[in-house]
Amino acid sequence: MIRTITLAFLAALPLGLCANQEVEAFMNMLEPDRKFSSYQELVEHYQQWFTTRYAEVEADLCAATHKNLDQLVQERAVLRKEYSQPYRLEVFDVASPRFERLLKETLKDFGVKRKIKIYASSITGYAAAYLDFIIVNEWRMSRYSDDVIKAVFAHELQHILFEDCLDSDHLSYQDHQEQTPRCRHMQLAELRADVFSFLKSPTYAAAVKDYFDPKWPHSPYDIHASDAQRAIIAKTICKQLVSVLPLYKRLAWHAIHAARSLKTTLGRQMTVLWGRWKGKQPKVPYTLLML
């Protein structure tokens, strides 16, 4: 009897926690020690995984909604048109020059020629993407280094380029609980935005480690990977990117990184000493030392 109850409890656990199935599938496929012969091969490896996975999830989505893929694409196009009405932008403020400049630099790095605007707003998160513009919470973002802000913009940019920004509306509690195709479709979009922003260069992949806090609690109803998972994915991709660099660039990368981590360690030690001298716990946010 007790064993049955225990088994039933254990069986219910994964459902109760409703783990992000797409992130788990991706993490199972990640091979930190895999060697790639070129940058192209590395990028194609991830492109292939997302293409296959998207096809599977979209097939599930079609079956669940009794619609074919054309109908789903059409519905998204209607939604995009609706959202592109100019009156929707009136609620936002003009972004400050620092954020304008950082977005411009990000677009240049990604070779994006089209016009993508940026607005400031007190949104709950840090940044969000819509059809062809990004909204940033400047108050929250301003404490981060330029590299971190560019990495966040790079994530948002992927949503614009893959045109998936409007798919993330209206997920119910049950969608998460049951990991429905709709929920998994959105999880994939978030994961893809992470992976393809990291894949740009080791600088982009490494920057986010200052942004994600592995100790940050993760809501099972969040379609993003947890901070801990995002940090692992970024670290793995960074390592793979560095391994395909030509030798001199690889050496330069390691030298810059060694200098940076030394600076961080020293900075942290100084903060601790300063805190002790003042007779209280250090209050300087860790990220400020990364600048």
Q: How far is the CB of 159 from Zn ion (least distance, A)?
A: 5
Binding positions for Zn ion, rule: CB under 5 A = 190, 193
CB-nearer residue toward Zn ion: 138 or 194:
194
CB-nearer residue toward Zn ion: 158 or 271:
158
Residue sitting closest to Zn ion (CB): 193
How many whole angstroms from its chain centre is CA 22?
A: 14
Q: How far is the CB of 66 from Zn ion (least distance, A)?
A: 28
Q: How far is the CB of 155 from Zn ion (least distance, A)?
A: 6
How many whole angstroms from its chain centre is CA 232?
A: 12
Residue 102: exposure state from Cβ atoms within 10 A (0-12, 13-18, ≥19): buried
SS3 161: helix
CB-nearer residue toward Zn ion: 193 or 206:
193
Q: Are 186 and 165 in contact (CB under 8 A)?
A: no
Q: How far is the CB of 138 from Zn ion (least distance, A)?
A: 18
Residue type, 172: S
Q: Find where tokens 């669940």 sit.
A: 64
Q: How far is the CB of 209 from Zn ion (least distance, A)?
A: 18
CB-nearer residue toward Zn ion: 127 or 244:
127
CB-nearer residue toward Zn ion: 153 or 253:
153
Contacts of 193 (CB under 8 A, 6+ apart): 155, 156, 158, 159, 162, 164
How many whole angstroms from its chain centre is CA 175?
A: 21
Q: Find where tokens 């793979």 sit.
A: 240
